[in-house]
Structure 1
Amino acid sequence: MAGGYRLSSWSTGSTAVTPVVCVHGAGTSSRPLLPLVERLGRSVETWAVDLPGFGQSSRPAEPLGLTALGETLADWLEAVELPPACLLGSSFGCQVVTEVAVRHPDRVRSLVLVGPTTDPAARTWPRTVLRWLRDSVRESPRMLPLKLADYRDCGAGGVLFAFGESLRDRIEDRLPAVTVPTLVVRGERDTVVSHSWAEEVTRLVPGARLATVPNSPHMVPFREPEALAALVTEFVRQDADADG
């Protein structure tokens, strides 16, 4: 339980290195992140959690906004008694984990922002839908049944509200307040997150660096889990080494 909600989570692996907590995007669940969780768990302790209203977690009477999602995630981190963790956000999950990093820096060791939304150049429904449609034809066909199951679980209203939150939120306003080591990751063929926007996110976060995963569209954790797991493992270990 966290924030009064029952949250479903998965974990694998166990090492002395900083644990990694993976947070899904708008309207989806942890399902598309599980290939990454499985591979990342071979080298570091890895978690995935469904936020309230998504996947197998309990559904609030009304969809939660970004701030409430962030607070619930922070409560969950405390409830499972994790040490300060590396929070890995995928898509809208990046907006959630940066919220936690700014409001609860004591619970966050580092951030990995994979395909961070939303690019200000696409912050309207027509533009963002067009970008998602262009990206969808580049994603693995195996993603479709997962997305359909996630959208069914979330419900049409919940999906639309989550995407609306991703458009309303100005992540760029809080990125300069992030104080933990940050890795920004973009798929080379991602049409949702432009290269220029990924560069801007990297510039706005003090000390952040950008990595590009070749040949991948937006859903890097599903399409290229091996490559992403290698990047994250190296990042987490380098951060631990820097701390002595």
Structure 2
Amino acid sequence: MPEPTALLALPGLGLGPESWRPTLKHLPGAGAPVRLLPGFGEPAHRRQDLDPRALAENVLAVLPDDVTRVVLLAHSASSQVAAHVAALAPARVVALVLVGPTTDPRTTTWPRLVARWVATAPLETPRQVPTLLRQYARTTLPAMVRGLDAVRKDSIEQTLDRVKAPVLVVRGPRDHICLEDWAASVAAHGGEGSRHVTLSAGAHMVPFTHGRLVADVVREFLCELDASTSASSA
């Protein structure tokens, strides 16, 4: 019998556990842990290394020894951290769910990054603004800027080329940060069984604004993963 699979969620840049709750409450074992990282829900001290690979080592350092099978759920820039976790611990990370992953190589300059964010922001749900401002204030703007500067230089495609686990890429149809062709490209670098899905609604913040839609596609992906694992161990 295969070992049970644990879920671990990583918030996007500047975001905290609030950003994942509307999705996690609809998933098996609701209440899956959310790991905060410097720049991703927590402030960062001046000398803190915010490179995605360094943050991935941070994630691995706090994974309990008895968690031998984990599916990482990551949003936006934390997708790059999750990819590095999978590359560093291939025996433990059995799948990745990347929602609105960054960084599209066409937008690695600051002007292009800002342009994508500006194009997406008006398409988001206005009701999320108060909680976003609270989360950003908690993380602090300097930490977010440093984190964004680190992730824009990191190639998730090159990292995923070292990953054999299946990758599910999820995006909202109004997301201009993660365009559909970019989502398809990210999924193409994942292991066997990888694919991308565009939801029926939402923009970049879908784990918070359209949690049930995200949870539905994640649940389907997890069921396929369990079926594949059971078949291979039979």
Question: Do Structure 1 and Structure 2 share a fold, with TM-score over 0.5?
Answer: yes
Contact 2:173 2:201 in 1 (8 A): yes
Q: Distance in 1 between matches of 2:123 and 2:175?
A: 8
Q: Which runs of 5+ in 2 are unaligned?
A: none
Contact 2:4 2:69 in 1 (8 A): no
2:189 is aligned with 1:204? yes
* Residue number in structure 1 paired with 2:203: 217
AA of the residue aligned to 1:235: F
2:36 is aligned with 1:50? yes
User: Deviation string for 1:11-69 (max 9, x for gaps)?
Assistant: xxxxx85222111111222221111122224x5662212113543x5754533322221
Q: Distance in 2 between matches of 1:161 and 1:236?
A: 34
Q: Distance in 2 between matches of 1:237 and 1:59?
A: 37
2:22 is aligned with 1:35? yes
Q: What's the C-alpha RMSD, in Å, of the aligned pairs? A: 1.9
* Residue number in structure 2 paired with 1:114: 99
- Superposed, 1:129-148 pairs within 5 Å as 129-148=114-133
Q: Distance in 2 between matches of 1:34 and 1:203?
A: 28
Q: Distance in 1 between matches of 2:146 and 2:39?
A: 11
* TM, length-normalised to structure 1: 0.86
- Superposed, 1:15-30 pairs within 5 Å as 18-30=5-17
Task: Specify which structure has the bigger relative contact order, considering alpha-carbon pairs within 8 angstroms and separated by 6 or more residues.
Answer: 2
Q: Distance in 2 between matches of 1:44 and 1:111?
A: 18
Q: Distance in 2 between matches of 1:58 and 1:158?
A: 6
2:28 is aligned with 1:62? no
Q: How many residues align?
A: 226
Q: Distance in 1 between matches of 2:117 and 2:69?
A: 33
User: Deviation string for 1:111-130 (max 9, x for gaps)?
Assistant: 11111101111111111111
- Superposed, 1:91-110 pairs within 5 Å as 91-110=76-95
Q: Distance in 2 between matches of 1:27 and 1:72?
A: 17
Partner SS state of residue 64, structure 2: helix
AA of the residue aligned to 2:81: V
Identical aligned pairs, as a percentage? Answer: 33
Contact 1:53 1:63 in 2 (8 A): no
Contact 2:80 2:156 in 1 (8 A): yes
2:229 is aligned with 1:243? yes
Change (3 A) 1:83 1:108: same
Q: Which runs of 5+ in 1 are unaligned?
A: 1-15
Q: Distance in 2 between matches of 1:122 and 1:53?
A: 20
Cα deviation, residue 106, structure 1: 2.1
Contact 2:24 2:31 in 1 (8 A): no
Partner SS state of residue 83, structure 1: coil
* Residue number in structure 2 paired with 1:13: none
